[in-house]
Amino acid sequence: MPSVVRALPILALAISAAITSLPTFAQQAPATPMAHAAWTRSANIYEVNIRQYTKEGTFNAFAKHLPRLRKMGVDILWLMPVQPIGVKNRKGTLGSYYAVRDYTAVNPEFGSMDDFKRLVKQAQGLGMHVIIDWVANHTAFDNPWTVQHKDWYLKDAKGEIFPVTYTEGPEPEYWTDVTGLDWKQPALWKGMTEAMAFWVRETGIDGFRCDVAAKVPTAFWEQARTELERIKPVFMLAEAWQPELHRRAFDMSYGWDTLGVFKDIAKGKADARTLKALFEKPPVAYPEGAYRMRFTSNHDENSWHGSDVEHYGPAFKAMAVLAATLPGMPLIYGGQEAGLDKRLEFFEKDPIVWKEHSNAAMYAWLLKLKHDNPALWNGQYGGTMRVLESGNDKVFAFRREKDGNAVSVAVNLSGTPQEYGVSGKKEKLDAWGYQVTGAIK
């Protein structure tokens, strides 16, 4: 969900400054590992902003990129919301994707339902899987549910629906184009589950990325997943960090913790000690096998907080290597492979400028590295991480090993050349340089 000041990443940004300041329930015992679908175990994820991906901004125009993405090594396509956008209280000219007017239709801006189904079928035919964004916390003001099922909505003292106010950050955020759903209403649970099931059953998608998932009862997500699994195995990504979401509902949650550290490293505010503390003494205990999403950007980060150039400058590739090799599943935000160097407009047309860029080859290498090395796989299917003593706080080194496959990674976290030593052997790294050894390349 877009915002001027994104609230939840405050959690991540606090990591490097005060790594012990997270909620006290962090020490809860992990639950039994969830069995993830086989196709997710060595997978990566790629976020698609249909509106901005091409000049046309359609499903059909995006479909032309599928062979390129598959060649690059992309596994899971996450499409930002594909449903019609509300007109009432709309933000900007085109509105926010997250103001859903109809849960079981497609945005005519993008094409038809048949176009969408062809896109899904084509992607799956190339060996990829498709998930779509799902907004269950709120709807547009002109969603038919506001009339047909007004009892499903939160209401003010006058009995009227009202704009959502988001209050987890230091300042409230006013989502004036959406109105909140009341999850105390049992009929809403059934209606929302049926809407999700429609997409799995009728279009063949492989799962969902669930917007502000922690704002919706965990019990709902658990019930919904059970129902969806009756149709086909699904992959569920929560835009949230809470460990309990992994028990029976979600395969993966957001790794805002590492994102905050990546940004701080690029600005010289953190070093190898910060990453070591985060992984050796994690402030939040996740169930064994929980997938965490590692990323340098996404639609919220790019549009509301800054481009890769603003956040990382010359440190970008070093942070991308960490995102792809640390425990977790790496995310690429569509356009990063072309060196996306601007903040994309959220409510207006603002196409990505596609050009040849060295990032494309880097990502192809990183995704192949992950596919080919079980040590780098996701959750319980990959190797645990052991931090290596580099003898230099500017160099972060670690090793992951699984069933005889071992990968060692060393990354220079500074803008100057550095020397480091692991097991007595001295090595040198260029500014923001990195070295991966022992891997099947």
pLDDT of the residue at 4 = 34
Q: Is residue 21 part of a domain?
A: yes
Q: Quick check: is 163 in a domain?
A: yes
Q: What is the pLDDT of residue 168?
A: 64
Closest to 40 measured CA to CA, from 370, 332, 441, 440? 370
Question: What does pTM read for this prediction?
Answer: 0.92
Contact 220, 190 (CB under 8 A): no
At residue 121, does pLDDT exceed 70? Answer: yes
* Domain assignment present for 99: yes
> How far is it, in rounded angstroms, from Cα 156 to Cα 182?
12
Confidence at 13, pLDDT banded by 50, 70, 90: very low
Domain assignment present for 441: no
Contact yes or no for 246/253 (Cβ under 8 A): yes
pLDDT, position 438? 85
Whether 212 is in a domain gets the answer: yes
Q: Are 315 and 415 in contact (CB under 8 A)?
A: yes
Q: Report the C-alpha gap between 330 and 144 in whole angstroms.
A: 37
pLDDT of residue 113: 99
H helices within 44-112, ranges in order? Answer: 50-53, 59-63, 66-72
Strands 207-210 and 291-294, bridge-based pairing: unpaired
Residue 2 forms part of a structural domain: no
Q: What pLDDT shows up at residue 439?
A: 65
In-domain check, residue 40: yes
Report yes or no: 272 and 289 within 8 Å, Cβ to Cβ. Answer: no
- Is residue 6 over pLDDT 90? no
pLDDT digits (tens, 9 = 90+) for 20-32: 222 323 334 344 6
Check pLDDT > 60 for residue 118: yes
Residue range 141-161: mean pLDDT, rounded: 97
pLDDT band for 165, please (50, 70, 90 cuts): confident
Please state, rounded to an integer, the average pLDDT across all residues of the chain. 92
- How many Å apart are CA 270 and CA 61, to the nearest integer? 41
Q: Are 275 and 77 in contact (CB under 8 A)?
A: no
8 A C-beta contact, residue 104 and residue 198: yes
Structure confidence by residue, pLDDT tens digits, 210-259: 999 999 999 999 999 999 999 999 999 999 999 999 999 999 999 999 99
Pick the closest to residue 406 from 433, 427, 380, 385 (CA basis): 385
Query: What pLDDT was estimated at residue 440?
Result: 62
Tell me what percent of the residues of the chain surpass a pLDDT of 70.
Answer: 91
Residue 7: band (very low, low, confident or very high) from pLDDT cuts 50, 70, 90: very low
Q: Is residue 246 part of a domain?
A: yes
Segment 346-399, tens digit of pLDDT: 999 999 999 999 999 999 999 999 999 999 999 999 999 999 999 999 999 999
Residue % of the chain over a pLDDT of 90: 87
Residue 136 has pLDDT above 60, yes or no: yes
Domain that holds residue 365: 10-383
Structural domains of the chain, count: 1
pLDDT tens by residue, 266-295: 999 999 999 999 999 998 999 989 999 999
HSE, CB side, 13 Å, CA atoms: give it for residue 214. 14
85: nearest Cα among 103, 59, 112, 61: 103
The pLDDT of residue 179 is above 80: yes
Per-residue pLDDT reduced to its tens digit, 88-98: 999 999 999 99
Mean of the pLDDT values across residues 147-161?
A: 96
Residue bearing the bigger pLDDT, 168 or 399: 399
**What CATH number does residue 182 fall under?**
3.20.20.80
